[in-house]
């Protein structure tokens, strides 16, 4: 009772998996490097929790990053980090598996290892320490955490985690050291063991090479994906959090991958190709999960809800199921050019919440550069449709600092927002009409690995500040409110996103200087990170602001997502010429992801 929200730390939620730890061979701590409320809202974690616990030989428990007050308490009382299910110290588990959802969680990974009583550097942990495995979106560039994590798993957990655990079970039965075990899993698709690779650098600080130092370490590590989502068993129960979490709801995964190819979006490329779940499977899952949890909301999740081919069938079915039970249906990630007015009116019959759309850029030229595939007419028509249905609060997301951007493109954001306000008042008496509210959120673009923009420079903080004030100065209408993403945070995010192995030292140094929960803007302290980079002889500018040559060895070059370098270079060229590439359903542009031969997608072999 000495900490805020004790419910974060005690487990025992409805649907928690209970096993006898003595009767399993493998104990796995699933570690989410953020606070309980965030981690418990994450679909992937919930899927893997059920997936791993379906094994009789394994007990998968959960551990979240302790909040500041609990960390103080733990350090004072010498309490090692524990798993929620049994309260046992995770230091004694076979595996601690981190999910890396966001670059800014890296200081929490280090802190959790330390709180567990483990050495931070993999090379300093002995055979008695658990195997530290990490996956998730940020594992696609594993290098910044390469000295800390024993093994990265690149891709979707359901594909090959079982095989890793099967091999581990055999290894444990037969005995042997950790290095031996790690060497024994190198042939599994998606496995990357950084200690089996040496890194060398050029005089100018760029990477010279990353080479295997053991015979069986592959030169390229291919991501692992589930070939047929329909065959994947989805959990029919779900944990019900003890305290209010970010999202308290049943979540249905429509599909993985994305047909769009927005050139700034890492998720859109690394998760290719598209694989869908059928509406029938999702309906059944919704029914079972509602019964198992009592949640009052169902949300659909994917990179672009409107692109789900079974959207009408599923949404109509869900409305029918939800309405008599007073269950809300939430439809995020809707494209503005496919606003389903009739459905939205059914879903939000009484209380109309604000609608969010992401034009991403203000001018047509810029939207073509990023391959957003939206015209101004489509944006305004979609928003007008929403206005006609009674919505009057709109949120719009934009990015600044995009490649090839001019001040005119920046001013285009202000112009577009003003047109949205004008569209609302069209044909209305301005004095009598209920006021419209347009909330505009502007963030600085952070180039990410595995996108056509991976070679580009990130705008400096000064340049982003200048562009922010340009927009501010150009917006005249009081109905528009502006907010900005913290550009200091974008600097650290960028340096970690495209960092090499040396960035790990800066992460550890930042943690030593007190960095925690850096994704929380009120907890993030830029000065710590600036100091940390300086202390280890690095600068964030080197990683962020430089335009990389196309012949430069990129720190993530040994990871193969299926999307070829040739394709990314072609897309970069198209971007520079503002040429739009059709989406996968309009025509395949040969990105390379067809090699996965998946079922239920657009490029199924």
Q: How far is the CB of 275 from ligand SF4 (least distance, A)?
A: 10
Residue 78: φ, ψ to 5°: 60, 45
270 binds ligand SF4 (CB under 6 A): no
Q: What residue is closest to ligand SF4 based on CB?
A: 603
Q: Tokens 């100091």 label which residue?
A: 531
Helix (H, G, I), strand (E, B) or coil at 268: helix
603 binds ligand SF4 (CB under 6 A): yes
223 binds ligand SF4 (CB under 6 A): no
Q: How far is the CB of 376 from ligand SF4 (least distance, A)?
A: 26
Q: How far is the CB of 364 from ligand SF4 (least distance, A)?
A: 23
Site for ligand SF4 in 525-544 (CB under 6 A): none
- For ligand SF4, the binding residue among 273, 310, 447, 519 (CB under 6 A) is 273
Q: Tokens 């701590």 label which residue?
A: 29
Whichever of 94 and 571 has its CB closer to ligand SF4, that residue is 571
Q: How far is the CB of 597 from ligand SF4 (least distance, A)?
A: 11
588 binds ligand SF4 (CB under 6 A): yes
Whichever of 471 and 602 has its CB closer to ligand SF4, that residue is 602
452 binds ligand SF4 (CB under 6 A): no
Stretch that binds ligand SF4, among 99-107, 110-118, 458-466, 589-597 (CB under 6 A): 589-597
Q: Are 401 and 441 in contact (CB under 8 A)?
A: no
Q: Are 198 and 210 in contact (CB under 8 A)?
A: yes
Q: How far is the CB of 554 from ligand SF4 (least distance, A)?
A: 20
Q: Could you list the beta-strand ranges (E) of 65-170.
A: 95-99, 131-135, 151-153
x-marked contacts with ligand SF4 along 167-206 as a string, rule CB under 6 A: ----------------------------------------
Q: Are 442 and 482 in contact (CB under 8 A)?
A: yes
Q: How far is the CB of 338 from ligand SF4 (least distance, A)?
A: 19
Task: State the alpha helices, DSSP H only, in 331-460.
Answer: 341-347, 364-369, 376-388, 407-425
What distance in Å separates the CA atoms of residue 194 and residue 216, rounded to the nearest whole number?
13
Stretch that binds ligand SF4, among 11-19, 119-127, 515-523, 584-592 (CB under 6 A): 584-592
Core vs surface per residue 418-440: b (16+ CB within 10 A) or e: bebbebbeeeeeeeeeeebebbb
The kind and range of the H/E element at 198 are: strand 197-201
CA distances from 200 to 123, 149, 210, 221 (A): 18, 19, 7, 19
Stretch that binds ligand SF4, among 84-92, 336-344, 411-419, 586-594 (CB under 6 A): 586-594
263 binds ligand SF4 (CB under 6 A): no
CA distances from 177 to 196, 221, 223 (A): 15, 23, 26
Number of residues that bind ligand SF4 (CB under 6 A): 11
Q: List the helix and strand counts (H, then E) for the chain.
A: 19, 19
Whichever of 358 and 602 has its CB closer to ligand SF4, that residue is 602
CA distances from 566 to 159, 450, 550, 569 (A): 26, 11, 11, 5
Stretch that binds ligand SF4, among 162-170, 484-492, 522-530, 582-590 (CB under 6 A): 582-590
Task: Supply the angle between the helices 503-512 and 487-497 in degrees, to the nearest 10.
Answer: 130
Whichever of 26 and 258 has its CB closer to ligand SF4, that residue is 258
Whichever of 73 and 570 has its CB closer to ligand SF4, that residue is 570
Whichever of 256 and 281 has its CB closer to ligand SF4, that residue is 256
The kind and range of the H/E element at 482 are: strand 480-484
Stretch that binds ligand SF4, among 229-237, 332-340, 510-518, 585-593 (CB under 6 A): 585-593
Whichever of 448 and 461 has its CB closer to ligand SF4, that residue is 448
Measured over the CA atoms of residue 591, residue 595, residue 596 and residue 599, the dihedral's sign is positive
602 binds ligand SF4 (CB under 6 A): yes
Q: CA torsion, points 387, 389, 395, 397, in degrees to nearest 10?
A: -90
79 binds ligand SF4 (CB under 6 A): no
Core vs surface per residue 361-399: b (16+ CB within 10 A) or e: bbbbebbbbbbbbbebebbbebbeebbeeebbebbbebb
Rg from Cα positions in the chain: 24
- For ligand SF4, the binding residue among 356, 378, 589, 599 (CB under 6 A) is 589
N residues, the chain: 605
Q: How far is the CB of 372 from ligand SF4 (least distance, A)?
A: 17
Q: Tokens 């059914």 label which residue?
A: 346
Whichever of 553 and 593 has its CB closer to ligand SF4, that residue is 593
- For ligand SF4, the binding residue among 300, 519, 594, 600 (CB under 6 A) is 594
Query: How big, in percent rounded to 5, are the helix, strand and coil portions of the chain?
Result: 40, 15, 45
591 binds ligand SF4 (CB under 6 A): yes
What distance in Å separates the CA atoms of residue 82 and residue 91, rounded to the nearest whole number?
8
- For ligand SF4, the binding residue among 303, 568, 593, 600 (CB under 6 A) is 593
Whichever of 494 and 601 has its CB closer to ligand SF4, that residue is 601
- For ligand SF4, the binding residue among 256, 272, 275, 367 (CB under 6 A) is 272
Stretch that binds ligand SF4, among 66-74, 184-192, 489-497, 581-589 (CB under 6 A): 581-589
- Residue numbers of the site for ligand SF4 (CB under 6 A)? 272-273, 584, 588-591, 593-594, 602-603
């Amino acid at each position: 009772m000495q900490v805020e929200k004790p419910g974060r730390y005690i487990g025992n939620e409805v649907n928690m998996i209970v096993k006898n730890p003595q009767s399993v061979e493998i104990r796995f701590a699933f570690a989410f490097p953020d606070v309980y409320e965030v981690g418990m809202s994450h679909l992937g974690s919930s899927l893997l929790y059920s997936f791993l616990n379906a094994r009789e030989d394994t007990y998968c428990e959960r551990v979240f990053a302790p909040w500041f007050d609990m960390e103080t308490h733990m350090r004072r009382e010498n309490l090692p980090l524990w798993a929620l299910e049994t309260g046992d110290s995770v230091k004694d588990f076979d595996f601690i598996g981190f999910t890396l959802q966001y670059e800014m969680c890296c200081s929490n990974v280090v802190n959790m290892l330390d709180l567990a009583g483990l050495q931070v550097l993999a090379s300093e942990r002995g055979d008695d320490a658990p195997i530290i495995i990490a996956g998730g979106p940020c594992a696609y560039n594993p290098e910044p955490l390469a000295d800390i994590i024993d093994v990265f798993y690149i891709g979707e957990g359901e594909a090959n985690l079982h095989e890793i655990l099967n091999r581990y079970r055999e290894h444990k039965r037969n005995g042997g050291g950790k290095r031996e075990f790690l060497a024994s899993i190198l042939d599994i698709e998606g496995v990357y063991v950084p200690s089996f690779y040496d890194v060398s650098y050029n005089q100018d600080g760029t990477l010279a090479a990353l080479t295997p130092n053991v015979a069986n370490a592959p030169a390229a590590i291919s991501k692992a994906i589930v070939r047929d989502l329909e065959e994947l068993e989805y959990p029919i129960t779900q944990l019900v959090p003890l305290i209010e979490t970010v999202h308290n709801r049943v979540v249905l995964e429509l599909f993985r991958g994305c047909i769009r190819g927005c050139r700034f979006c890492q998720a859109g490329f690394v998760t290719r190709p598209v694989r869908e779940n059928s509406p029938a499977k999702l309906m059944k899952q919704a029914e079972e999960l509602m019964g198992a949890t009592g949640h009052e909301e169902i949300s659909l999740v994917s990179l672009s809800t409107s692109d789900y081919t079974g959207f009408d069938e599923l949404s109509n079915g869900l409305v029918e199921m939800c309405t008599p039970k007073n269950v809300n249906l939430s439809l995020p990630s809707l494209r503005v050019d496919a606003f389903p007015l009739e459905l939205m009116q059914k879903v939000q019959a009484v209380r109309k919440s604000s609608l969010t759309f992401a034009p991403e850029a203000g001018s047509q030229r810029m939207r073509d550069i990023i391959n957003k595939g939206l015209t101004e007419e489509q944006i305004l028509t979609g928003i007008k449709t929403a206005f006609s249905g009674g919505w009057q609060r709109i949120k719009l997301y934009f990015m600044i600092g995009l490649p090839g951007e001019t001040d005119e493109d920046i001013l285009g954001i202000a112009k577009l927002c003003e047109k949205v306000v004008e569209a609302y008042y069209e044909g209305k008496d301005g004095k009598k009409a209920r006021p419209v509210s347009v909330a505009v959120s502007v963030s600085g673009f952070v180039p990410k690995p595995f996108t056509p923009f991976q070679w580009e420079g990130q705008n400096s903080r000064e340049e982003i500040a200048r562009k922010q004030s340009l927009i501010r100065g150009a917006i005249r209408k009081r109905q528009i409110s502006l907010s900005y993403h913290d550009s200091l945070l974008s600097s650290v995010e960028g340096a970690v996103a495209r960092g090499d192995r040396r960035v790990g030292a800066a992460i550890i140094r930042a943690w030593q200087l007190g960095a925690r929960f850096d994704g929380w803007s009120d907890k993030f302290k830029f000065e710590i990170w600036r100091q940390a980079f300086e202390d280890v002889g690095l600068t964030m500018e080197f990683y962020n602001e430089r335009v990389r040559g196309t012949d430069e060895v990129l720190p993530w070059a040994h990871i193969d997502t299926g999307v070829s370098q040739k394709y990314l270079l072609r897309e970069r060229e198209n971007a520079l010429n503002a040429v739009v590439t059709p989406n996968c359903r309009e025509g395949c542009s040969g990105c390379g992801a067809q090699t996965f031969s998946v079922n239920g997608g657009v490029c199924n072999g």
